[in-house]
Chains A and B, each alone.
Chain A
């Protein structure tokens, strides 16, 4: 019977290993003690050796794949011997750069064609996967309904036709964001109400727990003088006059955050399991509170857009976010985010990073404050901004330098025109 080759714990703390290179290949004869592969552990590159004699029958894991300790990575046995339990033994690669190899023994019948690359999925990550029937998907796409926001009533919470059909109707009946419906008069009072998790609430739970837990956050707060930004805004809006499309503080903040990122590419990055992706484009996610949750529509290339463009786009995206009409590509792919609770009179707060982004800036309210200026005290409009950083990507000084630039931009809005 063929012998399994497991990913072994090659260091005391090793939980998974990355298969760097196979030194033996399928069909090669192997003797116990021969080096089969090079494996990168948490500490160093080590050798994985054979524990049996025979032929390397089957390699289960392509090079470059990270595999948990204990998973089967290959089979050794007699030439032509069939490998059993292929399917069950196949590892779930954490990041597979190459498609999984065929799981059939070489001697078996003509192997089936390789799995073709997946067509563009509806949602980009696992956390946002939605179970829905093909018909429901088509209807949702056509109607612009976001399946993530629909509560599925089919088996296992699958979104089916009737759920999509009733989606717009239920929207109207709903009350303010997050608010629970008040029990009807005369209705029996219960001590509590169990409300099933909607898809979006599930996604928030999953993604944010995946953020504040494993991501080492740290926070940087600075107080920004908004007097000149306020003056500039008033002047701009006066000029726009009746044309409509007024500029908001939020638009100015988004623009400044984007421009500051152009100067600090180190903060405009995604943490990916085995690499960091530094973005050359700046896409700002803008947290918007909606019915029973929040969503971050993305203003793409915000650094290249005018304040007016940002204003128009953010209003449009926010409105569609609230009516659940965002397309998936409109709320994914941000490189950095802004969360603004200024309108709720929050002085300052910390926002939770939206992975894989490495940072988010939390904006507090703009309030008149007495500040010393030279030897006298003046009243100025001030605003607190707090940056949450993923320490795996951004170090303290890196983040601080970014915040300094952001502060300068907002305190001297003319700099944005440069």
Chain B
């Protein structure tokens, strides 16, 4: 029986990062992975979608290029080519993780791991023992909505897994769920000429984002011909051989949506089945995540859980940070606690939506005394130059102390810009420190300084 200091179940962004940090701290580490290293993120999630979104961006750019003095002629798109490119990007990244495992002398065990009592993990007929800890990082998967007949069949009812591997796009696509995944695929397929309808049960798209962000994106999508139905309930689904008809109720009206395929983008299920949780006495929360304490240890000592299985937000960067913290805890260090209220959230559609902290509605619900500062990109020189004037920066600050309660960016490069505010919040800078930092001109980031100024009542550029 092979022994290690730490055995990690799952080689996704939580698991592999945890493994590397363990190795850095001198712990003998093994990662058990049944598929490719890098997990959903690298192989069928974050990374390939970003590659496809860039293809979509180029397609949209070329359609408008005439205005910029560049004629591209008749622009045609080929999803198969874009898809193959996205696969190469994913493979490169997965190989990159493989290389990192070797570089850090981490043992990778291929196969499905099952936990056993006594800090043991069974893979096939082999049993591995951990001297210090077992870390559960098995992640999550797409889920369908079987009760209304929308069981994923991989042809007409698909998940992101299938959407990422299509050779050809369907003529039309209904997307159920307008969270990050749904909105990103809507953007991609629209750019590739698909008639897209997005259906969201909650009153607005990107329901977790600030209402103004949802509104701006809603307008932008409608302008591009994407149909958006929010506050909608799918009452019945008629799944045919080459089309699906959905009965939808929205705003008191009933209507039918027919599409060549339906993409299920409403939530994910955590991978907690058949991995030996019960046998090890590991308890779950009411919502079905693995129950962990503030040190991410499960109800059984020596077993930790990180990433999606440990609870929301189900984001790669949150899982990676948990991986680092758990590795340091196992090594006897005292890492700084994770600030779960300071995890940036990004949707990489066009325009991008990025946020951190509270939304304006949450500020109101919590009865906080806040001031909102806002700056539109239509007043930003750089944005005008590139023709990307959609969107805004909004900063919500505490009225008394200037604490940045929340920040919301809609616009080109929002995903990159949000980190200025993440750093500010992490270090407890107030809006004044953000504004005091000189921002280069002309940049999109100037809008952050201007929004900070606006919250102080002294905006310069509007």
Contacts and interface: CB of A to CB of B under 8 A. Distances in A.
Given A142-B401, A161-B403, A135 B336 contact: no
Nearest to B404: A135
Contacts of B403: 135, 161
Nearest to B400: A142
Contacts of B402: 135, 138
Contacts of A161: 403, 428
* Secondary structure dominating the interface of A: helix
By size class, the interface of chain B is 10 to 19
Interface string B407-430: 000000000000000000001111
A160 interface: yes
A191 to B, nearest CB: 21
B162 interface: no
A138 B401 contact: yes
Nearest to B436: A134
A154 B429 CA distance: 14
Contacts of A116: none
Interface in A117-137: 133-136
A169 B413 CA distance: 43
B336 A139 contact: no
Interface string B431-442: 011000000000
Nearest to B434: A134
B428 A133 contact: yes
Interface string B334-345: 001000000000
A155 interface: yes
A135 B428 CA distance: 5
By size class, the interface of chain A is 10 to 19
Contacts of B427: 133-134
* Secondary structure dominating the interface of B: loop
B336 A134 contact: no
A133 B402 CA distance: 13
Contacts of B400: 142
B116 to A, nearest CB: 32
A139 B403 CA distance: 10
Nearest to A155: B336
Nearest to A139: B401
Highest count of chain A CB atoms <10 Å: which of B401, B402, B430, B432:
B401
A136 B336 contact: no
A160 B429 CA distance: 10
A136 B429 CA distance: 9
Nearest to A159: B428
Highest count of chain B CB atoms <10 Å: which of A139, A155, A160:
A139
Contact of B430 (A138, A142, A155, A160): A138
Interface in B26-69: none
A136 B402 CA distance: 11
Contact of B401 (A135, A154, A155): A135
A155 B337 CA distance: 11
A160 B339 CA distance: 13
Interface string A146-185: 0000000011000011000000000000000000000000
A133 B425 CA distance: 10
Contacts of A133: 427-429
Highest count of chain A CB atoms <10 Å: which of B400, B401, B403, B428:
B428
Contacts of A155: 336
A157 to B, nearest CB: 12
Interface of B: 336, 400-403, 427-430, 432-433
9 smallest CB-CB distances across A and B, nearest first, come from A133-B428, A135-B428, A138-B401, A135-B403, A134-B433, A134-B430, A134-B429, A139-B401, A135-B430
24 contacts: A133-B427, A133-B428, A133-B429, A134-B428, A134-B429, A134-B430, A134-B432, A135-B401, A135-B402, A135-B403, A135-B428, A135-B429, A135-B430, A136-B428, A138-B401, A138-B402, A138-B430, A139-B401, A142-B400, A154-B336, A155-B336, A160-B428, A161-B403, A161-B428
